Structure 1
Amino acid sequence: MSSTTKPPSSKCDIARPELADQGLRRIRWADQDMPVLAQIRERFAREKPLTGLRMAACLHVTSETANLARTLQAGGADLMLIASNPLSTQDDVAASLVRDFGIAVAAIHGEDAQTYYKHVAMALDHRPHITMDDGADLVSAMIFIAIDRLDLLSTHQKPVREWAERFSPEQRKQLFNDIIGSMEETTTGVIRLRAMERDGVLKFPVIAVNDAETKHFFDNRYGTGQSTIDGIIRATNLLLAGRKVVVAGYGWCGKGVSLRARGLGAQVIVTEVSPIRALEAAMDGFAVMPMSEAARIGDLFITVTGNKHIIRREHFLVMKDGALVCNSGHFDVEIDLVALKEETVQFTPQVRPEVDEYRLKNGRRIYVIGSGRLVNLAAAEGHPASVMDMSFATQALATEYCVKNRGKLAPKVHDVPREIEEYVARTKLATMGIAIDEMTPDQKAYAASWQHGT
C-alpha cells in the first residue's frame, strides 16, 4: 500500500466506506493484469517525477483507474479523483482508495447531476497543476471560469458557478495560470478540446491520449468491443446469434462492437455519416444503411458515435415491439430519451437490473439499457484490465512528458509522442512473452534513403 494516511474529509465524498476490503481485493485483482503500468509505478516511486504537483482527475472510478491513481501518487502527485460518469463509479474501489492509499476521492455510484458538479467544484478547489479528463468536463468548467463566461454554465453546473463566484472577474482569469497541462482519454473529449482550440479559448496544452494508437487501436476496438457486448448480455441475457444488431458509428469503438457482435452470430448493420467509414464497413462485410431504414428492422441498437440524438423520435416510432436500445458513447446524449419519454404512455423502470421499459402510444415496447449511459460501465465493469494497462500507462507517461516540458508546449491539443507509444507497445509485448524482429543496419539505411531504384 502507498499510504495509510487518510485525506482531509473536506476533499472526499464517498458512499460506502465499509466496502473498502472488497474494493482492495478488486484493485489487486486488476493490478495482476496491468504489468506495464506496474513497471511505470515502480520507476515513478524511485524517481518521483510529479513531486510537489497537485493533480485533479475526472475519470471512471474503477479498479483499473485505481491502479493509475496509485501510479500518479507513487510519482509524488497530490491527487484528487472524481467520477466522470455517475454510473461507472465502483463504491468499494472509491472506499479503498481513501482508506488504503490515502487518495482523495469524490465519487458516488448513481450520483445526480448536482452532486456530479459539486465534485467538479471540489476538484477545481484542489487548484490542480495538472488535470486528467474523460470527456473534458473538468477542462470545460475551467475554461468557462477563465474566460469569465459563467452564464454558459447550465443549471446542473450551479455548484461550479457558485465556487467561481467566490472570486472576482479578474481573479477568475488568473485562477488557472498554474496549469501545466491536461490529458484527455476519450474521443468525445478530444472533439470538445479541438473546438476550444479552434475558438481560441484553450489556455494550456492538452495531450490527446485518446488518439494514441495504443489507445484507440486496443482500448477502443478490443476494450469497448468486448465490454459493450458484456454489458448488454449481463443486463438482458440476450442471445445475439441470429439477431439484427444495429451499430451506429464505425469508428474504432464501432468496429470493435461490430466485430464482437458478428463473432457471436449477430447480423450486424452499420449506420454512418462518413462515406469513408461507411465504405470500410461495407468492405468489412457489414450491411450499411441509414438509421431510418435500420430502425425498422433492428432488434438491438448500439450507439458509439460521440454525437447527439443518433436515435431520435422518428426512429423510435418505427421500431419493432421489444427493440432494445443502448449507448456506448461517452455522454448520455446519443439516444434522445426526452423524445422517447414524450412518446411513452407507460414507463416501467428496472424490468431487469439496468433495463427500463417504455410502452409507446402505438402500443410497442422499447427497452433502454443502462439509462442511455455507457452500457459497458452501467451494466458491466468496463474494459478489461489488460487493455486499460496500455491506456493508463500512456496516461502516466504523457503526464510525465507534460511536466518535463513545462512551459514549452503551446496551448493546443498535442499528440502523444511516438517514443511513448512505442515504449508502451514494446513493454506490453515483453509482458506477453512476445519478441519481434529488428531492422538490420542495411535495412535501416535502405529505409532512410532515396537513391535506390527498382
Structure 2
Amino acid sequence: MEYHVRDLQLAELGKRRIEWAERDMPVLRSIRERFAKEKPFVGVRISACLHVTTETANLMITLKEGGAEVFLTASNPLSTQDDVAAALVHYFGIPVFAIKGEDRDTYYSHLHAVIRKEPHIVIDDGADLISTLHREYPQLAQKILGGMEETTTGVIRLRAMAERGVLLFPVIAVNDAMTKHMFDNRYGTGQSTIDGILRATNRLIAGSTFVVAGYGWCGKGVAQRARGMGATVVVTEVDPIKALEAKMDGFLVMPMIEAAKIGDFFVTVTGNTSVIREEHFKVMKDGAIISNAGHFDVEIDIKALEKLSVGKREVRNFVEEYTLYDGRRIYLLAQGRLVNLASAEGHPASVMDMSFANQALCAEYILKHHSQLERKVYKVPREIDTQVAQLKLASMGVQIDQLTPEQLSYLSSWEIGT
C-alpha cells in the first residue's frame, strides 16, 4: 500500500485516540453501522483533503466500512496528527499522505498522490484538492461524480469557479449546512481557537483586550468564548450588518487601526487576505500576540511583519517572536496558520460528529443523484441537515414536539386571519 506518514510506530497511540473521539461521535457511528450493512460505496474511490485528526479518521473509517476505497491527504501542513495518520495506515488499511510540518512541495506532492488514485468522489477542506484537479488534471476532473467542501473559504473559491463556468463537477457545500456552520464554526472554532492560544502561550486571557477580526459564525464563537474567559472583546468588521450585530451583542466595534493600538490578543477569522497589515504592526503594543483561525495563512501579512523586524526567534513551540526596529516585540502563533489545529487538536469530537455526518450522507447523496446534478455548488439537502439534527438530539436524549394536523393546516393556509 502506498502511503507517506511520519512513523508507523506511532500507530498504537493514534488508534487509542481515534477510539476516544469515536465515543463522542454517536451520529457518525449510527451512519457507519448502516453503511456497514448496506455497503453503498462498493467499487467507489474517494479522495479526501482534510485535517488529519482523530475526528477525520472516524469519517474515513465510516466511508471504508461502506465499501469505499479511501485515500486521505492533509488540508494544512501543520494540522496533521502524526499518530492518527500512522494508525489509519497500520490498523485500518487507509492510505494517508500527511506529515505534520511538511513543506509546500511535500504538501502538493501529497495532493497529487490522492488525485492520481482517480477518485469518483472528492472531499475537500479549503478547495486546494478541487482547484488542483481543475488546473492540472482537467480530463480527470470531468470524470468525477461530485465533491463536498467543508469550509467557508473553500465554498467562496468554488462558487467563484461556478460563476465563471469553470467548475467541472457538482459540489455540495457541506460548510453551509445549519448543523455544520452553526455548531462547527461557532462552538468548535470558538473553543478550539482559545485552546490553541492557551497551549501555545500559557497566557491569562482574563483582563486582557482580545481583538477578533470578522464576525461570521467563527468570529462569533471566538468572541463569545474570549468574553467568557474574562476578556474585553473588540470586533473589527467590513460588513455593516455584522458590525451592527456585534455591537448589539455587547462587543466593542472599531476599525483594526484603532484596535491594533489596544489589543493584547488578536485572532483573524475572515477568510480574506492581509487583514492585519504593516500599518497595524506599527501601532501594536509591545508583547501583542497575533494568530489566525481562518483557513489559509494569508490573513496576517507576515512578509510585512518580517520587513519591519530586526530579529526573529522561536521562544516556545508555535510562538515566534518578532523584534521590531524600535524594540517592540510581536508574537506570531503557528506561523499564521490555523492556530486551533496547529498548536491544539482542532474541534471537539462532538462538534465534528455533525460535520462529518453531513459529509458521509452527502457522499451517499452524490452517488445516488449525480446524474441529475449540474456543475455548480449546491446546498446540503434539507432532509440531510434535518436528519443529522434529529440523530444528534436523540443521542443527547432530547425529545421535541411535533406539529399537529391542525397546526400543519394553519401554516399552509392563507384564509385564516385574526
Q: Does 1:390 align with 2:349?
A: no
State the 1:70 CA deviation: 0.3
Instruction: Give the partner amino acid of 2:124.
Output: D
Q: Does 1:108 align with 2:99?
A: yes
Q: Does 1:238 align with 2:216?
A: no
Instruction: State the alpha-carbon separation in 2 of the partners of residues 176 and 410 from structure 1.
Output: 14
Counterpart of 2:381 in structure 1 is 417
Give secondary structure in 1 for the equivalent of 2:71: strand
Residue pairs, 1:316-395, within 5 angstroms: 316-349=281-314, 351-395=315-359
Counterpart of 2:417 in structure 1 is 453
Counterpart of 1:309 in structure 2 is 274
Deviation per residue, 1:232-269 (Å, 9 max, x gap) = 11111111111000000000000000000000110000
State the 1:123 CA deviation: 1.1
Instruction: State the alpha-carbon separation in 1 of the partners of residues 63 and 201 from structure 2.
Output: 37
Normalised by the length of structure 1, the TM-score is: 0.91
Instruction: Give the partner amino acid of 2:22.
Output: D
Residue pairs, 1:164-175, within 5 angstroms: 173-175=138-140
Instruction: Give the partner amino acid of 2:111.
Output: V
| Aligned positions, number | 418
Counterpart of 1:97 in structure 2 is 88
Counterpart of 2:12 in structure 1 is 21
Counterpart of 1:135 in structure 2 is 126
Query: Does the CA contact (< 8 Å) of 2:141 and 2:169 recur in 1?
Result: no
CA RMSD of aligned residues (A): 0.7
Normalised by the length of structure 2, the TM-score is: 0.99
Deviation per residue, 1:101-126 (Å, 9 max, x gap) = 00010000100000000001101101
Counterpart of 2:218 in structure 1 is 253
1:402 aligned to which of 362, 366, 370: 366
State the 1:437 CA deviation: 0.6
Instruction: Give the partner amino acid of 1:447.
Output: L
Q: Does 1:441 align with 2:399?
A: no
Residue pairs, 1:90-239, within 5 angstroms: 90-146=81-137, 173-239=138-204
Instruction: State the alpha-carbon separation in 2 of the partners of residues 90 and 280 from structure 1.
Output: 36
State the 1:25 CA deviation: 0.1
State the 1:223 CA deviation: 0.2
Counterpart of 2:240 in structure 1 is 275
Instruction: State the alpha-carbon separation in 1 of the partners of residues 196 and 269 from structure 2.
Output: 14
Deviation per residue, 1:102-159 (Å, 9 max, x gap) = 001000010000000000110110111100000000000111125xxxxxxxxxxxxx
Instruction: State the alpha-carbon separation in 2 of the partners of residues 453 and 217 from structure 1.
Output: 34
State the 1:362 CA deviation: 1.7
Deviation per residue, 1:357-379 (Å, 9 max, x gap) = 00001210000111111000111
1:59 aligned to which of 44, 50, 54: 50
Instruction: State the alpha-carbon separation in 2 of the partners of residues 387 and 15 from structure 1.
Output: 28
Give secondary structure in 2 for the equivalent of 1:76: coil
Instruction: State the alpha-carbon separation in 2 of the partners of residues 30 and 51 from structure 1.
Output: 26
Deviation per residue, 1:297-326 (Å, 9 max, x gap) = 111100000001100011001100000000
In structure 1, the gaps of 5 or more residues are 1-7, 147-172
Instruction: State the alpha-carbon separation in 1 of the partners of residues 403 and 359 from structure 2.
Output: 29
Instruction: Give the partner amino acid of 2:113.
Output: M
Instruction: State the alpha-carbon separation in 2 of the partners of residues 275 and 314 from structure 1.
Output: 22
State the 1:177 CA deviation: 2.6
State the 1:48 CA deviation: 1.0
Q: Does 1:285 align with 2:246?
A: no
